[in-house]
Amino acid sequence: MREDLKENIDFYYNEQGYMVFTEAYHLKRGYCCDTGCKHCPFKKDKKPKKRLWEDNKNE
């Protein structure tokens, strides 16, 4: 079952009222969704949508 999101830990609301996911949330999720999230810890990776648990045989 999915764990509930916790405000100010997993996300916060910006000045425009949008929900913004934190770096902690992204690290819990474990992969980049490739939508340009503000706090994405994976955005420096040149290979989008790479999951941490996938095999790296092709590298």
How many angstroms separate the CA atoms of 31 and 50, rounded?
A: 6
Q: Which domain holds residue 5?
A: 1-51
Give the Å distances, CA to CA, from 25 to 1, 4, 7, 40: 16, 11, 11, 9
Inside any domain, residue 59: no
Inside any domain, residue 3: yes
Inside any domain, residue 45: yes
pLDDT at 36: 85
- pLDDT tens for residues 1-34? 257 899 999 999 999 999 999 999 999 999 888 8
Q: Which residues contact 21 (CB under 8 A, 6 or more apart)?
A: 10, 11, 37, 39
Inside any domain, residue 58: no
Inside any domain, residue 22: yes
User: How many structural domains does the chain have?
Assistant: 1
Q: Which of 44, 43, 6 is nearest to 25 (CA)?
A: 6
Inside any domain, residue 26: yes
Inside any domain, residue 56: no
